């Protein structure tokens, strides 16, 4: 039976649409099936006004190379891939995460290296800020999250992850246009931004898990 008391339980008759035009042309990484919940573990980043000013400068410059680029509206650093959970797995999955992450303390990292990424099936391209300090603590967190994923026979995180905060995206593999000269110009903007040293030294205070329309928070000590 499905667990009781989870907020935001879906209407069992709710229709599901996979119309990519409603999502900026994005394509699902896996087909939707009723009872399957797309699930993701991550560190949320709450953008400050100065960060949004830096983002605007970067996206404006990058659009001279790729006009279809869209700025992200929310920001995070991933600790897992997007995996599929059955609905009745959500409660034990979250419980196991909470137990494994309970001992972790707040920590800082620095995300100040501009990098271009594509998703695994090359349907989207991203500009991100890669972590240059704090890698060890992130690997420790991923190790615990991977342990939970293995309990449920789900894919673990990438073997040699490039931890990053995505800033902007576009449909298709347009990495060739963004790398090289564009990437150098974007890095110059970050390096020259007055508040960048302060802004891009980030203290992580909580971990979140999003499963479908449900959010679970795990505060760091």
Residues that are catalytic: 76, 164
Q: Is 26 helix (H, G, I), strand (E, B) or coil?
A: coil
Distance CA 181, CA 188 (A): 11
Distance CA 56, CA 167 (A): 10
Q: What angle do CA 124, 94, 15 make, to 5 degrees?
A: 55
Distance CA 141, CA 94 (A): 15
Kindly give the interhelix angle for 135-151 and 90-101, rounded to the nearest 10 degrees: 140
Distance CA 206, CA 221 (A): 9
β-strands 36-45, 206-211: how paired?
antiparallel
How far, in Å, are 15, 25, 55, 78, 182 from residue 168 at the CA level? 30, 14, 9, 15, 14
């Amino acid at each position: 039976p499905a667990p009781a008391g989870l907020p935001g339980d879906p209407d069992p008759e709710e229709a599901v649409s996979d119309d990519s035009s409603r999502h900026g042309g994005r394509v699902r990484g896996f087909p939707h099936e009723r009872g399957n919940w797309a699930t993701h573990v991550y560190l949320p980043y709450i953008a400050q006004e100065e960060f949004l000013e830096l983002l605007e400068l970067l996206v404006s410059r990058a659009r001279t190379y790729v006009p279809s680029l869209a700025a992200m509206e929310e920001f995070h650093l991933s600790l897992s891939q997007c995996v599929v959970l059955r609905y009745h797995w959500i409660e034990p999955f979250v419980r196991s995460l909470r137990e494994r992450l309970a001992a972790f303390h707040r920590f800082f990292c620095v995300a100040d290296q501009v990098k271009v990424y594509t998703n695994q099936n090359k349907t989207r391209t991203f500009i991100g800020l890669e972590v240059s300090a704090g890698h060890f603590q992130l690997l420790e967190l991923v190790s615990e999250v991977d342990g939970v994923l293995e309990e449920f026979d789900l894919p673990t995180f990438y073997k040699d992850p490039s931890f990053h905060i995505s800033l902007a995206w576009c449909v298709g593999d347009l990495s060739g246009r963004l790398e090289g000269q564009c990437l150098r110009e974007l890095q110059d903007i970050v390096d020259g931004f007055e508040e960048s040293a302060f802004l891009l030294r980030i203290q992580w205070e909580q971990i979140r898990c999003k499963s479908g329309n449900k959010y679970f928070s795990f505060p760091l000590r």
